[in-house]
Amino acid sequence: MSEREPESLKQTLFDTIEAERGRLKLIARDIWENPEVALQESESSERLQSALREEGFEVTAGVGGIETAFVARYGEGTPVVGTMGEFDALPGMSQQAKAEREPVEVNAPGHGCGHNLFGVGSLAAAIAIKRSIDRGDLSGSIVFFGTPAEEAGGGKMYMVRNGAFDDVDAVISWHPGWYNAPGKGSCLAVDAFDFTFQGETSHAAASPESGRSALDAVQLLNTGVEFMREHISDAARIHYVIHNGGSAANVVPGEASVEYLVRAPERVEVERISEWVCDIAAAAAQMSRTDLTATKTSGMYGVLPNHTLADAIRKNMEYADFPLDDEREKFAAELRETLGDVEDSLQYIPESEREAAREVAMFTRPINAPDEGQTGSYSTDSGDVSWNVPLGRFRAATWPVGTPAHSWQAVAAGRDLGTVGMEFAAKTIAATLADLLEDPELRQQARAEFEERSADHEYESPLPEGADPYKLVNR
């Protein structure tokens, strides 16, 4: 039972979500059973689109040049509020819904990040808001953003560049996890590069003097970057992988390529470091007498937090109940058992909450934002959304305490256990979107905070000219 009685509008939203529970769970399960990886998630995308079309939403697919990206809109005029749903799976993560490691199909994809729940939780909220608009309880417009390819470089930046978020007052979004809390933190901005060097092949023993090694250039670049690392901020992250280092040891490599990711808390810092890395690449080509093709392939912003929206989300979490039954709790306990020691994960939540979390399989009680003032060492394509519209984010408990994302336990929980947290998320989103539609002061406050936090930097799409998400996935 919820700790507080929600006002009647919110109760109506919750009733709608509960009335649709069976259908929503079925969609989440269908997507779980047919896991599709980034940019190939056509059936998952269609599953969500058709549910929205049935409700009367106007659906535009293929947004920003991505076939599986879509925008679904309902209502008339302002205010305009939105929510986002992801639905892509992870390669190789296939796992049955049981408490031991056993794939449905070896090496097949699986929903290791709970995106089957993510998409449907947000869908449920959008439908509830739509029905309240129909009843005349709310006025304005609701937009559902179907955001693909989160696991493979991101799709939201392309939708942002396409103007999809331009007329939206605020967006509320969530992500599966093992606790219920709003997010007040940020994360790292990122740039991605491909450096390809062209040299001359020759017999490495008989005539090395006629060769020019492209692999030497890659190694000089990597070595140069290792020396640079001391002179950039501790919070920055640079990592690389060699995609092509030549073909045989007795052939001087005529072509070699390396992929780089450059991350830092601030966009300007990423750009500064990226420029330095590109200079080192050019110098490596000079040193090795090879030719360089440097290509920026992608980029993202870090998340701009919005405490106004986080607080509104936190308040609504108290209204949304978390109806975990004995059977699911038992399965959660079995799954949790397989995780072993989860103390490292527990460090993420405030110390005052750890004892309570230690004692349960599912940590259902909402907690305050655990990440205020922190910059997480990850990047997300939600960053670009947050620089274009006030974005409220939270996590909902779909997995047992301490479950890491991208683990087989996360996949196992996503088929059924996680649908309880999904419903909690749907109610939290719906209630917060209703607040935003009803309360001009809340909208204004969220906007004012957004303006203040983004005042020092004008957003410019970090995507390079001609960026192609399909190329990144299929390389």
- Among the listed ranges 17-25, 109-117, 236-244, 260-268, the one in contact with Zn ion (CB under 5 A) is 109-117
Amino acid at 203: H
Minimum Å distance from CB 292 to Zn ion?
35
Q: Which is nearer to Zn ion, 176 or 199 (CB)?
A: 176
- Secondary element (H or E) of residue 42: helix 42-55
Q: Which is nearer to Zn ion, 113 or 278 (CB)?
A: 113
Minimum Å distance from CB 175 to Zn ion?
6
* 24 sits near Zn ion (criterion: CB under 5 A): no
Neighbours of 285 (CB within 10 A): 23
Which residue lies nearest Zn ion, judged by its C-beta?
A: 113
HSE-up of 298 (CA within 13 Å, CB side)?
25
Report the residue count for the chain.
475
Minimum Å distance from CB 260 to Zn ion?
23
DSSP per position, 127-185: HHHHHHHHHTS--SEEEEEE---GGGT-SHHHHHHTTTTTT-SEEEEEEEESS-EE---
Q: Which is nearer to Zn ion, 113 or 304 (CB)?
A: 113
CA separation, residue 104 to residues 87, 95, 97, 234, 372 (Å) = 19, 5, 9, 42, 39
* 411 sits near Zn ion (criterion: CB under 5 A): no
Integer Cα distance of 413 and 36 in angstroms:
18
Minimum Å distance from CB 278 to Zn ion?
30
Q: Which is nearer to Zn ion, 10 or 115 (CB)?
A: 115
Q: Which is nearer to Zn ion, 113 or 218 (CB)?
A: 113
Q: Which of residues 374-403 bind Zn ion (CB under 5 A)?
A: none
Integer Cα distance of 415 and 336 in angstroms:
16
Q: Which is nearer to Zn ion, 256 or 391 (CB)?
A: 391
CB 101 within 8 A of CB 397: no
Q: Which is nearer to Zn ion, 175 or 443 (CB)?
A: 175
Integer Cα distance of 420 and 236 in angstroms:
37
- Among the listed ranges 51-59, 97-105, 106-114, 378-386, the one in contact with Zn ion (CB under 5 A) is 106-114
- Pick from 31, 63, 93, 113: which binds Zn ion (CB under 5 A)? 113
- Among the listed ranges 48-56, 108-116, 312-320, 378-386, the one in contact with Zn ion (CB under 5 A) is 108-116
Integer Cα distance of 400 and 358 in angstroms:
11
Q: Which is nearer to Zn ion, 113 or 238 (CB)?
A: 113
Neighbours of 196 (CB within 10 A): 21
Q: Which is nearer to Zn ion, 69 or 225 (CB)?
A: 69
Q: Which is nearer to Zn ion, 113 or 258 (CB)?
A: 113
- Among the listed ranges 2-10, 13-21, 107-115, 328-336, the one in contact with Zn ion (CB under 5 A) is 107-115
CA separation, residue 338 to residues 91, 98, 165, 179, 438 (Å) = 22, 11, 42, 18, 45
Token pair of 134 as six digits: 């129909």
Minimum Å distance from CB 174 to Zn ion?
10
- Among the listed ranges 110-118, 225-233, 295-303, 342-350, the one in contact with Zn ion (CB under 5 A) is 110-118
CA quadruple 16, 21, 25, 26: dihedral positive or negative? negative
Please give the span between the terminal C-alpha atoms of the chain, in angstroms, as a whole number: 50
Minimum Å distance from CB 113 to Zn ion?
3
Binding residues with Zn ion: total (CB under 5 A)? 1
Contacts of 33 (CB under 8 A, 6+ apart): 415
Minimum Å distance from CB 419 to Zn ion?
17
* 37 sits near Zn ion (criterion: CB under 5 A): no
Minimum Å distance from CB 59 to Zn ion?
23
Minimum Å distance from CB 385 to Zn ion?
14
Whether the ω angle into residue 253 lies within 30 degrees of 0, i.e. cis, is: no
Supply angle C-alpha 98, 45, 121, rounded to 5: 60
Minimum Å distance from CB 452 to Zn ion?
29
* 426 sits near Zn ion (criterion: CB under 5 A): no
Integer Cα distance of 383 and 463 in angstroms:
13
Q: Which is nearer to Zn ion, 111 or 443 (CB)?
A: 111
Minimum Å distance from CB 414 to Zn ion?
11
Residues of this chain that interact with Zn ion (CB under 5 A) are 113
